[in-house]
Amino acid sequence: MAHVQKLTFPIINKSYEQPTGLFINNEFVAAKSGKTFKVTSPITEDLLCDVQQAEAEDVDIAVNAAYKAFKSWKFVNPTERARLLWKLADLVERDRDLLAQIESLDNGKSLQCAQWDLNIVINYLRSCAGFCEKKDGRLIDTGYSHMTYTKREPLGVCGAITPWNFPLMMFAWKIGPSLATGNCVVLKPASATPLSNLYACKLVKEAGIPAGVVNVIPGSGRGCGNAILNHPLVKKVAFTGSTGVGKNVMTECAKSIKKVTLELGGKSPNIVFEDCNEEEAIQNLITGIFFNGGEVCCAGSRIYIQATNPEWYNSFLQKFKAAVEKLKVGNPFEQGTYQGAQTTPDQFDEVLKYIDIGKKTSLKLLTGGNRIGNKGYFVEPTVFYDVPQDSELTQEEIFGPVAVVLPFKTVDEVIEKANDSDFGLGSGIHTEDIHKALYVSDRLEAGSVWINTYSDFHQSVPFGGYKQSGIGREMGDEAYENYTQVKAVRAKIRTPVL
C-alpha cells in the first residue's frame, strides 16, 4: 500500500505500519498539491512521520466521492448498514490494543486513558448499528380523505471537523450516526493527531463499507476545514473544538444554510458537600480534572468544596492533595502512568501561562505548578485553592491539568456560583443526600450532571452543552436527529365508486 510509514512505540518497542495518505474513495492517496505536514510526538517532541496535507482541491474530490456514494448508500437496506457498522466495531475491538497505542503515541495520553476511549468507540459503533433499523416516522391522523405520514431521511454529505484530545472517540461520534442514518462523511481530523483516524480507515475498508461513504482528509483548518464549511454539496457540519472556532464555523455554515452541531468548550463545576463519601469524591475530582491530562471539554476544573465546617474543609483539602501527589505523570507507555503529555506545544505553553498567572496573582497553591523534565510536554497536576470567583483561572477554560478550589457554605450559594459562567457543558455533585443532589441538578445550567461520579459516559446517553458550550447532542437518540431531515407525505384518497 502506498503512503505508509513504519513507526515504533517507545518502551514496548513494537512497530506497526502507519497510513499517511488522504483516505478518499477507500484508497490512501496523495494530496493534489503534493504538500505534506509533520506529525510529532508530544512524548519526546520527535518527528513521527509526514502526512499528506489536504487543501480545497482535495476537499472537492472527497466531497464529490461522498456525494456519488450517497446516491446508492441512502437506499442500502438498514440491516446491511447495521451489519457493516457492527463489523467495523468488531475490527476496532480486534485491533484495540494497537489503536490505543497509536493514540498514546500521537496524542500523549496514557494507555489507560486510550483504552477507556476504545471502550466508548466500540460500544458506540455497535449502538449506531442497532439504530439503523429504528429510524422511523409517524402516521398522522388527518381524517379519511388523506393518508399522511412522515419519514426521517438522510441529509447527504456530512462534514466533520474534530479536535486533537479524543481522536478516535470523535471519529466514532461523527462516523457512527452519519452512516446509521444513511449519510456519507468527509472528516477532517486535527492535524496534530491524525494517525489513529487514518489507521481506522483501513478498518473501514476491511469492514466492506463502500467506497466514498467514509473519507478522512487531514489538513489545516484554514486550507481544509474552511473548504468543508463552504462546499455547496456539504449539507451538515459537525464540529467539536473551542468556542471561538465554533462561532466561526457557525458563521461560515450560515452562508449556505447548512445544518450545524457544535460541541464546544467548558468550565465545569464539580461540587463537593460535607456529607459526601470522601474517598469516592476525591477519586471523582481526580477523574474530573486530571484524566486525559485535563484536555477534556467537560473537565471539572472548578471545584467547589463546602466549608461550613472549616476543620472538615481543611482536612478534605489535605486528603485531596495527598491523592493528587500520588498520580504518576510521564511516558504513557510506562506501567502505571495516569497522566501523559499535553498534546501540542501551544497547549503546553497555554497551561504553563495560566499556572504563571495563578502564581503572579498570589493564588494559594495546594500542589503542582511546574513543568516536568525538559523534553516532552509534561506538567504536574496543579491545584490552587481558596480562589476568588472572578479569577481568570476560575472563569477561563485552561484545557489542562489545572484546577481551582472555591469554598462555599450554602446550597443556593454554590448553585449561583456554579452557574456563573459563559459555559454549560458538564457538572458534578457529590453527596449522600439524594434529595439535595436532585435539587441541585435541577438548577445547574449544564448539559450533563454527574452525581457521585464524573465524566461517566454511556453510548445511550446524550452529551452536549448549554450556553456557549454548543448546539446539539452527541450519542443517544438525540444525536440521530442531527443527521436526518423530516419529509411529510400527504396523499389524497378518492372515495371509491361502488
* Alpha-carbon span 190 to 186, nearest angstrom: 13
Beta carbons of 454 and 425 less than 8 angstroms apart: no
Q: Is the dihedral of CA 436, 442, 446, 450 positive or negative?
A: positive
Comparing CA positions, the residue from 236, 315, 223, 298 lying closest to residue 453 is 298
The separation between CA 35 and the C-alpha centre of its own chain, rounded to angstroms, equals 28
* Alpha-carbon span 153 to 158, nearest angstrom: 13
Which residues, other chains included, contact 335 with Cβ-Cβ below 8 Å and sequence gap of 6+?
none
Which residues, other chains included, contact 116 with Cβ-Cβ below 8 Å and sequence gap of 6+?
none
* Alpha-carbon span 293 to 46, nearest angstrom: 20
Three cell numbers, residue 346: 501551544
Q: Among this protein's residues, is 263 annotated catalytic?
A: yes
Q: Which of 263, 295, 380, 397 is catalytic?
A: 263
Ramachandran sector of residue 270 (left: φ over 0; alpha: ψ -120 to 50; beta: rest): beta
* Alpha-carbon span 458 to 455, nearest angstrom: 10
| Distances from the Cα of 255 to the Cα of 61, 157, 244, angstroms | 21, 17, 18
Cβ-count burial of 321 within 10 angstroms (0-12 exposed, 13-18 middle, 19+ buried)?
Answer: middle
Q: Map residue 348 onto helix, strand or coil.
A: helix
Beta carbons of 348 and 342 less than 8 angstroms apart: yes
Sheet containing 428-430: which strands, arranged edge to edge? 364-367, 382-385, 402-408, 302-306, 269-272, 428-430, 450-451
Beta carbons of 125 and 171 less than 8 angstroms apart: no
Terminal C-alpha separation, the chain: 69
Residues acting as catalytic residues: 263
